[in-house]
Amino acid sequence: MLDFGSHQALMHDLRTLSDSLDHLQSQLGPRGANVPWETIQALVATRRGLITQTEDLRHQLKKGSDRIADLKRQKLPAEEAMTALREVRAQIQALEGDLRAAEEALEHEALRIPNLPHTSVPTGCTEQDNVELRRWGTPTAFSFKSRSHVELGEALGILDFKRATKIAGTRFSVGIGHGAQLERALANFMVDLHVTRHGYTEVLPPVLVNRQTMTGTGQLPKFEDDAFRIPQEDFFLIPTAEVPVTNLFRDEILPEEELPIRYVAYTSCFRREAGSYGKDTQGLIRVHQFQKVELVNFTLPDQSYDQLEHLTHAAETVLQQLELPYRVMALCTGDLGFSAAKTYDLEVWLPSQQRYREISSCSNFEAFQARRAEIKFRSKGGKPQFLHTLNGSGLAIGRTLVAILENFQQEDGSITIPKVLQPYMNGASVIHSRDRKVQ
């Protein structure tokens, strides 16, 4: 079990911002480059000044109350002192309103502060500084000229990108026949595996969520430009099932004995891919809508890093069962997601690119999301505490489909179906290129 005692990622509260802002800023370093530190510092100073003024006036109020009581005991006139006391009360009331406004503004700006990396996270600025931990399988090599998943899918007639563009736009796809069936087979296989082998409970959440839900997991306010929004109701299409599933317990206190809780959800996911102009413009790698099986864990703080290993193993098992070569990367501080304290990326081998590409991110958020969403646990006889949340893709369906098409292609353009998927494909073993039928 990793030592997390010195880690303070859960401490993005008003007290920490007031007492340790400089320390927090130095710990984040380049990771906090886009945080409005000057605005936060000004709000911290305003809040501190208002608290001091309010406390001084409350001290005056107490002294004034004691003086009035003393005057009344002596049967002396107290009207002047009472008038002065009413003025002090009015000043306190006004200052309390200003303090609430300052704290609301500070809390809003604090939502832009990312989580602190765990002490075990490699130091670095870009993905080039990520650390490879292990590999499984050997990168697939062919004795013939291999083709990309786009070429294979279109030749087989199981993927149609042109008609998807016609009906929706770029960065969409249509699965046809056995292309659609293979996606469904992957989803059923993954969910069954996680439920039967890894102890997850299946849930089916909404794919439209409200602003508070998106804020709870850290998508808002920072990533609002990357989300699809329905303005009439201020709903958002989910970028991942992590968002609704984590928020199932928002504003709740769970009994300690119920933890850990492990949920698996299969949903559609939606991302604008803002900032990805020119990247992976063809195929299924970077699209606006895709299917994904997501793993979400709720756990006790002293068990969360053990749970991260369990979750990562569950995602790795999918790739191993599908016989897809992959590697595990520990993300460096500069490549870490906004809400994560530590992340492992699983990268699958893609022959067409001769490189590994990310297919799953498994992250421990510690108490970062729990604090934003007010998710706590209570031990017997103890006070409520923030629990820790984790999530990971188990796996992204589209990218898994890409990996299968490219790694299991045959010289004649057909695709061998991985053995574990054949029961989900009505026993078929091959998607054939000549007649576009499964044999």
Catalytic residues: 271, 286, 358, 361, 399
The pairing of strands 131-136 and 326-330 is antiparallel
Q: Which position has the token pair 């109701």?
A: 233
The pairing of strands 261-270 and 201-203 is parallel
**Separation CA 191–CA 408 (nearest Å):** 22
Q: How many helices (H) and strands (E) does the chain have?
A: 12, 18
Q: Are 294 and 316 in contact (CB under 8 A)?
A: no
Q: Hey, what amino acid is at 378?
A: R
User: What would you report as the CA-atom Rg of the chain, rounded to the nearest whole angstrom?
Assistant: 27
Strand 388-396's sheet: what is its strand order? 131-136, 326-330, 342-350, 355-364, 388-396, 289-299, 261-270, 201-203
**Separation CA 356–CA 349 (nearest Å):** 4
Torsion angle of the four alpha carbons 206, 211, 213, 215, in this order, in degrees rounded to the nearest 10: 140
